[in-house]
Amino acid sequence: VAHGADAVVYFRWRRCRQGQEQYHAGLRRQDGSPDRGYREASTAADELFDLDSVDASVALVHDYESLWATRSQPLSPDWVYWNHLRTYYDALRADVEPPSGVTSSLRTYYDALRARGVQVDIVSPEATLERYDAVVAPTLYLVGDELSTALTD
C-alpha cells in the first residue's frame, strides 16, 4: 500500500460452514453478519482513503499475451518464461546465485529500481505512458501500432 497498491485483497470473505477451514476467521461469520475482521478491514479502508497517492516515475510493462506468445515461439530452445521465473526465485530463496543467464527480467528490473528508491508502476501495454519519465518493457514480445507509437514518443 505504501508503494501505490491499487487494492487490498482479503482471504475468506465469509467463514466456511464446514471442512478444515471452518475455524479460519473471515470478514463475515457463517450467517453473513460482520465479524471482527470486517470491522478491522473497514477501519483500515478508512485510513487508506486518507493516504496520498503515490506517483511513480517509471512504468514497467508486463504483458501476458507476450508471455503466452513465447510459449508458441520461445526466444531460445530452453527459454520458458514461467520455468525461467521459478528457477530465479528458487535460487533467491536458497540464497544462492541463479544459474548463469537465468533471470526474471521483470522482477530484476523492478528490484533494481526499488533498491534505488524509484517508484515503479507495473502496467499493461494499454496503459497511458505519457506521464512516466521512463518506460521499461523487458519481456515485450508483441507490439501493436498504438504501443509502438507510445514507446517511440
pLDDT tops 90 at residue 57: yes
Q: How far is CA 45 from CA 7, 29, 89, 95, 112, in A?
A: 10, 20, 32, 36, 31
Whole-angstrom distance, CA of residue 13 vs CA of residue 15: 7
First to last CA, the chain: 31
Per-residue pLDDT reduced to its tens digit, 133-151 = 999 887 788 888 988 998 8
Percent of the chain having pLDDT more than 90?
Answer: 18
pTM of the model: 0.64
Whole-angstrom distance, CA of residue 27 vs CA of residue 25: 7
Domains of the chain plus CATH, in order, are 1-52 (no CATH), 58-152 (3.40.50.880)
User: Which triple of cell numbers denotes residue 104?
Assistant: 526474471
Grid-cell match 528508491, residue found = 117
Percent of the chain having pLDDT more than 70?
Answer: 78
- Average pLDDT over the chain reads 79
